């Protein structure tokens, strides 16, 4: 079936496959479009009586951008389970 020159999927494609395709499309759109929507919404709110939301949002963006690059204390993954190993032995 063609609609405006675009070939659509056949009718007999299962609904599960259509939902999977829709989910992937929404996932991709979320990462491609949502950042621009939030920035433009914050800029638009800056010129209204809700300017304080924009100031808070941009402050958080600056704060989060700085602290996401600061290294933190690393927890070594195998060390987390040493205590559990002793507890499991005493439990058995």
Segment-wise mean pLDDT, segments of 10 residues, the chain, 92 residues: 79 89 92 89 92 91 74 60 59 52
pLDDT, position 6: 80
Domain around 11: 2-55+67-91
Sign of the Cα torsion 69, 73, 79, 84 reads negative
Residue at 60 is within a domain: no
44 part of a folded domain: yes
- Show the tokens assigned to 37: 């929507």
Query: From CA 26, how far away is CA 21, in angstroms rounded?
Result: 9
Predicted local distance difference test score (pLDDT) of residue 60: 87
Does residue 62 belong to any structural domain of this protein? no
Q: What integer pLDDT is reported at residue 11 of this predicted model?
A: 80
Q: What pTM did the predictor assign? A: 0.49
Distance between CA atoms of residues 92 and 78, nearest Å: 21
Q: What is the domain count for the chain?
A: 1
Residue 31 lies in a domain: yes
SS (H, E, C) 13-64: CCHHHHHHHHHHHHHHHHHHHHHHHHHHHHHHHHCCCCHHHHHHHHHHHHHH
Inside any domain, residue 79: yes
């Amino acid at each position: 079936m063609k609609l405006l020159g675009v070939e659509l999927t056949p009718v007999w494609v299962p609904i599960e496959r259509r939902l999977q395709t829709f989910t992937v499309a929404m996932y991709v759109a979320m990462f491609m479009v949502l950042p621009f929507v939030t920035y433009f919404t914050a800029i638009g709110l800056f010129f209204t009586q809700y300017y304080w939301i924009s100031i808070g949002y941009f402050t958080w963006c600056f704060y989060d951008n700085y602290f996401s690059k600061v290294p933190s204390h690393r927890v070594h993954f195998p060390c987390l389970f040493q205590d559990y190993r002793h507890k499991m032995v005493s439990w058995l």
